[in-house]
Structure 1
Amino acid sequence: MKFNVNRDALLRPLQLVAGVVEKRQTMPVLANVLMQLQGQQLSLTGTDLEVEIVGRLPVDGVEMEGEVTVPARKLLDICRSLPDGAELKFDRDGERLVVRSDRSRFQLSTLAAADFPNREEMSVQTQFGISQGEIRRLIDATSFAMAQQDVRYYLNGLLLECRPQQLRAVATDGHRLAMCDRDAAGLNVESPIQVIVPRKGVLELGRLLEDGEAPAEVVLGNNHIRVVCGQFTFTSQLVDGKFPDYERVVPQSTGAEIFADRQALRQSLSRAAILSNEKYRGVRLRVTEGLLQIVANNPEQEEAEEQLVVDYVGEPLEIGFNVGYLLDATGAIHGDQVRIGLADANSSALLQQPDEAGDSRYVIMPMRL
C-alpha cells in the first residue's frame, strides 16, 4: 500500500470519519480508521457499530493497492499538526504504516483490515433523492429538542416521517416538541413511513451535509438508514421503538395570539435569562394589549424585567416557560416575525412563523413558577 495525498484534501474526510470513532472501545479495531486503496481512490471508514461514515478522495503516486486499519485519532492529529498544503506520503512497511511529509516521519501501528466490522447489506423500504440543504434544514430546525439519555430510549433520536412528496422531522424530550416539513418531490410513498434515527447519527449526519442544492440519496431499510452525499456515505442503525403520537400534543387552536419581532424577542429573552434560576431557567410572560413583559428572578432575590411592544388583543395573560426552550425555538424559526399561540395560562404554547413560508412548529409546555 503506497500513495501520496495532499494534507488539505485528506483533512476534512478524516475529521468526519474519525468523529464517529469512540475514545473508549470494547474492540481495539474500533479505535481505528479503515483505509482502502483501489485504483486512484482512497476510502476511509470509521464506525462505532451504530454509526458508520465512509469518505472517499482521489490520491496519486499509487504504486500498490491494499487495505489496513490505523489509529484514527493519531492519524488525525498528525494531519492537523502539519502545515497547510503539505504533501503526505503513505507506505506500508510490514505491521507499520509509515507517513512522511517533508522532514517529518511517523510510524503508526496497524491492525488487520479483516478484523474491521463489515456493514451488512440492508433491505430497502424506500429510496429517494433530495438536496443536502433540505435534510440539513430538517436537522437544524428540530435536533435541539431530542432527549439526552432518557429512559424512554425512542426519545433519544429524531423521527423521520416519509409522506407523499414530503419529508417531516420531529423531535421531543417530553417538555417540548419541534417539527419541520420540507418538500421532497422524489419521495413516492402511498402511506407514511416512520423511522427513528439515533441522536449520535443525527449529529454526525448534520456535520456531513452541505447547505444548498448538492444532491443526496436517502435509502431507508428495516433497521438502517443510509445517506449518500458527494464523496461520503453515512449509515446508521435505527432505534427500535415506537415514537409517541406527536400530533396529539400540537395545539389545533389557540385563542390568544401574540405577534412579535423575532430578533427583539430573542434579545429580551437572552437578557432576562441572565437572572433566571440557573437550575430551572424559568421566566414569566405577562401579556396585555400591545405589550409583553418578561420577568425572571432567582433565589438570590435578583430580578430582570424586559418590556416588548407586540401585536396582541385580548385578556391579560400570565404564563411561565423555560427560557432556554423559548430561545431554541425562536432561533430555529426563519423570518422576521414569530407567532406565539396560547389557549390559556395552563396550556402549551405553539410557536411558528406567521406566514405561509414557515416550515416548522414548536410546542413548549408551561412551567409552574
Structure 2
Amino acid sequence: MKFSCEKALLQSAIAVTARAVSPKSSIPALEGILLEAGTDLRLTGYNLETGIRTVVPAQIDQEGSLVLSARLFGEIIRKLPDDIVSFQADGYMVNITCGMSQFNILATDPEDFPELPTVEDKNGFTIPRGKLGSMIRQTIFAVSDNESRPIHTGSLFEIDDTGLTVVSVDGYRLALRHEPITERDGALSFSFVVPGSALSEVEKICGDGEEEATVTQGERHVMFRVGDTMLVSRRLEGEFLAYRQAIPRNNGIKVEGDTRALLTSIDRVSLIISDKLKSPLRCVFDDNVLKITTKTGIGDASDQCPISGDGGGLEIGFNNRYLMDALKAAPADRVRLELSSGVAPCVILPAEGEENFLYMVLPVRLKAGE
C-alpha cells in the first residue's frame, strides 16, 4: 500500500471519521481507522452503531488496506508540517513521511475491522445540506437522555407530501422543524428514528451550503450522504410519541415578542440559578408586558420584557434552561407564545409566515412564596 496526499485534506478526513471510532472497545480494530487505497483513498471509522466513511483525493501508487490507531494517526498527521504526506506500508509496518519528519508505526489487520452495514435503497429523499444541518441543530436539544425510553433518545424523521418534519421529545419539551424537500424516492410517506448521537455527527458533517444531502432509509439502518462523506447509523425501533395529539393548539392566550429580547430577559434573571441552586422562573403575562421573577438561596431577581398582546395576568412557572433552549433554536426574529393555563404547555411558533418550527415547553408547578 502506497499513496501520497495533502496534509490538510488527510487531517480533515481523519477528524471526520474519528468521531465514529470507539475510544475503548473489546475489538481493538474498532479503536482505529480503516484506510483503503484503491481507485481512491477511503477512511472509515465505526463503533458498531454509527459508521462514517469519507473519500480523500490522493495519488495511489499501490493498492491495499490496513487499520491504524485513530488517536496516534490523528496526532501524527496533525503535528506534521503543511506539505504532502507520503504513506508506505510494508506488511503491517507503516512509514509516514512529510518534509523532514518521519514516523514508522505498526498497523493492524483490516480483516479484523467489521464491515459497515449495507443500507438497502428502500426509501429516501434529498435536501440541501445546510437546511438538513439546521433542522437537526434546532431540534436535537430536546432529544431525551433517558434510556428507559430508548425510542426518544433519537429524533423522528417523518416524510410526506408536504416535506420533511423532524421531531424530538424528552418528556418536558418538544421541538419540531418542517421544511419542503426537493426530491423523494420510494413510498409517498415514511418515517424512521435516528439516534441523537448519530445526528450530532450528521450536523457537523453537513456544515453550510446548498449542496444536496441524500438520506436513505434501509430495513434496519439509515444512511446520510453529504459530498464525499457517508454516515451509516442503526435505526431506533419502537413507538414514538404521537406528537400531533400532544400539542395543544386551541390556546386562548396568544402573545408575541422579540426572540432576542425574550432570551436576554430570561438570561438576566437566570444569573442567580445554578445546578446547586435550582428554582423555576415565575412568569406573569400581563397586558403588553411579561414579568419574570425567580428566587434562590442567594437572593432574587426580576425583569420585564415588552410583548404584544394581553396575557390576562396568567402566572406560570418554567425551567429557565428549557425555555432558553427553545428560544435559542427558534429560527425567527419574532415568536408567538400560545398558552391556556398555568398547568398547560407553552407553545412557541413563528409570529409571521409559515409554521416551519414549533417548540413546546411544559410548565413547572409553582409553590407559594417561590
Q: TM-score of the superposition, structure 1-length normalised? A: 0.95
Residue aligning to 1:322: 319
Aligned-pair Cα RMSD in Å: 1.5
Q: 2:202 aligns with which of 169, 184, 205?
A: 205
Tell whether the 8 Å contact from 1:277 to 1:299 is kept in structure 2 after alignment: no
2 CA distance for matches of 1:74 and 1:149? 34
Q: What are the equivalent positions in structure 2 for 1:174-189 lying under 5 Å apart? A: 174-187=171-184
> What is the CA deviation profile of residues 285-319 of structure 1, one whole-angstrom value per residue up to 9, with x for unaligned ones?
1111111111122123x111111111122421110
Give the Cα separation in 1 of the matches to 2:243 and 2:333: 27
Q: Distance in 2 between matches of 1:277 and 1:4?
A: 52
Q: Which residue of 2 aligns with 1:18?
A: 18
| Structure 2 unpaired stretches of 5+ | none
Give the residue type in structure 1 aligned to 2:43: L
Contact 1:260–1:309 (Cα < 8 Å) also in 2: yes
Amino acid aligned to 1:305: S
Q: Is residue 260 of structure 2 the alignment partner of residue 263 of structure 1?
A: yes
> 1:210-250: CA deviations, max 9, x gaps?
22210112110121111111111111110121111111211
The yes-or-no answer on 1:46 pairing with 2:45 is yes
Question: Could you tell which deviates more after superposition, 166-175 or 215-224?
Answer: 215-224
1:158-173 equivalences under 5 Å are 158-173=155-170
Determine the structure 2 residue equivalent to 1:123: 120
Aligned length: 365
Quick one: structure 1 residues 313 and 7, their matched pair in 2 at CA, closer, same or farther if it must change by over 3 Å?
A: same
> Alignment partner of 1:124: what SS?
coil
119-128 vs 344-353, which deviates more? 119-128
Identity %: 27
- How far 1:258 moved relative to its partner? 1.8
Summarize the Cα distance change of 1:190–1:76 in structure 2 as closer, same or farther, 3 Å threshold.
closer
Asked if the contact 2:269–2:293 (Cα under 8 Å) also holds between the matched residues in 1, the reply is yes
Report if the CA contact (8 A) 1:281-1:324 is conserved: no
Q: Is the 8 A contact 2:34 2:66 kept in 1?
A: yes
CA contact (8 A) 2:334 2:350 kept: yes
Q: Which moved more, 1:313-322 or 1:26-35?
A: 313-322
Counterparts of 1:145-156 in structure 2, within 5 Å, are 145-156=142-153
- Partner SS, residue 252 of structure 1: coil
Residues 294-346 of structure 1, C-alpha deviation per residue, up to 9 Å, x if partnerless?
1122123x111111111122421110001111111111112221111101111
What's 2:250 paired with?
A: 253
Q: Contact 1:277 / 1:298 at 8 angstroms: preserved in 2?
A: no
Q: Are 1:67 and 2:93 matched, yes or no? A: no
Whether the aligned pair in 1 keeps the contact of 2:128 and 2:210 (CA below 8 Å) is: yes
1:31 counterpart residue number: 31
Any residues of structure 2 matched to 1:188-337 within 5 Å, and which? 192-276=189-273, 278=275, 280-300=278-298, 302-337=299-334
Q: Matched residues in 2 for 1:105 and 1:277: separation?
A: 50
Q: Which SS does the other structure have where 2:265 is aligned?
A: helix
Q: CA deviation at 1:357?
A: 3.6
Q: Following superposition, which runs of at least 4 residues in structure 1 exceed 3 angstroms of deviation?
A: 188-192
How much does 1:358 deviate?
4.1
Q: Displacement, 1:105?
A: 1.5
Asked if the contact 2:119–2:216 (Cα under 8 Å) also holds between the matched residues in 1, the reply is no
Q: CA deviation at 1:364?
A: 0.5
- The alignment partner of 2:184 has SS state of coil
Deviations 1:88-145 (A, max 9, x none): 1111022221111122222222111111111243333212222112211210110010
Q: Structure 1 residues 281, 164: closer, same or farther in 2, change over 3 A?
A: farther
Whether the aligned pair in 1 keeps the contact of 2:279 and 2:295 (CA below 8 Å) is no
